Structure 1
Amino acid sequence: NLLFDSTSTKLPCIELGMVYELNLKLAKLLNVGVAFQITEINEAEKIIEFTYGKDNKSHGRQRIVFKKEGNKTFIIHYSNFKSDSKFRDKHLYPKFHEKCMDEFHANLHELIKLKTKTQQEKEIIKDQNTIINGLAFE
């Protein structure tokens, strides 16, 4: 078992069967531990699916589908869940899931922006080095 926390900079690639646990903080009042298992990675269809751990309060799955349109990629996130409480399923989980998914996708967006910025900076440095090296040989 490997442990990674929110400050980890090198994380493993996902693999089929991989289990991961999250500690979700709700309104700074409550910490909820949840476990997920990767149950499908379909590279051809661009799908990642994970199911909730058996000890979670709710059971279900989440499916992330990546759709390319032109030079953009749309991320479609499906969530199906059921617990032993109709009240929880109708009134609590939908808002909770929406908040978690919004935060998850905002984090992904920030990571992509950071990676793009880092890649652009590398290209600028490479271009500058090419210019400097070119000047050195003139």
Structure 2
Amino acid sequence: MITLQKKQSTIRPALFLLLLLITGILAACGGKAPQISVDPALQDLGTQPQQPIDLVFEVKNTGNANLVIEKVSVSCECTTAELETNTILPGESTKLRVRFDPAEDNLFGDIQRIIYLRSNDPATPEAEAEFRVIIQKPEG
């Protein structure tokens, strides 16, 4: 009995130190990740005439590893989107410039468009920037 208690008393601190070491390693390895943020996520443009509209969104990396935007796509050919840079350092941001031309497809009425940003953010692999607008019907 005495020997068993002696072994347990040396095993417990060693086990505690091992668990502490493993926890520290997991925290250090898992703590580095990019995180995408789009501001504003939605722009409501109200009522506009049927002419090209230019918008700017801010894409920010709120994580602690480089954010790489792998692909930018749009929900309609009447919309174009371009990033100033595809790699965003932690704490930095870039501009997403969007142009919407409703006259290209003779669009009018309530319109909603989404820009998709595919990135290496493990929590949000595809972020969205969205805008809504009411395009006036052209006269004539």
- Category of TM-score, reference length = shorter chain: under 0.3
Give the number of the structure whose residues are more often strand, by fraction: 2
Q: TM-score under structure 1 normalisation?
A: 0.26
Give the number of the structure whose residues are more often helix, by fraction: 1
Q: Determine which structure has more spread, i.e. the larger CA radius of gyration.
A: 2
